[in-house]
């Protein structure tokens, strides 16, 4: 067990449906601490850079359109094993496979409009935190 930091994005579908408070409440109830926050709208260029690893995927252009469609709330989160703990709390990428009680089971609309993002490794958490909190 170690204290870690991870990067979360509350995505456009959740911001549009006034779910920021509900999602932050779940994060805090699960023992994770929000230590920085920024609300912003991604440019096409920033969204493409953030999701560069998916650039050859068939869903890439749709993902970029969606992620730039409205504001997002970016959170820097800290806690014991924060990376895995937050991924557990988010649930599977595809909400139809997500466990009950997870953010995506509760709120996601589809595999694309899945309400939240969370870093998957320590290395990516560092890269993603630097991307938004310079
Ligand atoms: P995220 O965890 O932010 O990482 C990449 C994102 O691409 C993912 O959440 C979804 O929003 C989206 N995504 C992943 N797989 C698919 C898919 N098969 N079809 C459409 N969008 C997807």
Report pTM: 0.97
Sketch out the chain's domains with CATH numbers: 3-88+120-132 (3.30.70.141)
Task: Give the C-alpha distances (Å, rounded to integers) separating 44 from 12, 32, 66, 70, 126.
Answer: 14, 30, 10, 12, 22
Residue from 63, 74, 104, 108 to probe ligand 1 pocket by mutation (most atoms less than 8 Å from CB): 63
For residue 30, what pLDDT is reported? 98
| Residue carrying the six token digits 């939240």 | 116
Percent of the chain having pLDDT more than 90? 99
What's the pLDDT tens digit per position in 75-124? 999 999 999 999 999 999 999 999 999 999 999 999 999 999 999 999 99
Instruction: Specify the 3-state DSSP secondary structure of 12.
Output: helix
Pocket (CB within 6 angstroms of ligand 1): 54, 59, 63, 93, 111-112, 114, 117
């Amino acid at each position: 067990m170690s204290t870690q930091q991870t990067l979360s994005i509350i995505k456009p579908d959740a911001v549009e449906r006034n779910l920021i408070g509900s999602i932050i409440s779940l994060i805090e109830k699960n023992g994770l601490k929000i230590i920085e926050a920024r609300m912003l709208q991604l440019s096409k260029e920033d969204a493409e850079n953030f999701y560069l690893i998916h650039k050859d995927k068939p869903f890439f252009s749709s993902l970029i359109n969606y992620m730039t469609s409205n504001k997002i709330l970016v959170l820097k989160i800290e806690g014991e094993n924060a990376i895995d703990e937050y991924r557990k709390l988010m649930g599977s990428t595809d909400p139809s496979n997500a466990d009950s009680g997870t953010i995506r089971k509760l709120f996601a609309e589809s595999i694309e409009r899945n309400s939240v993002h969370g870093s998957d490794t320590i290395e990516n958490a560092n890269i993603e935190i630097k991307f938004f909190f310079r």
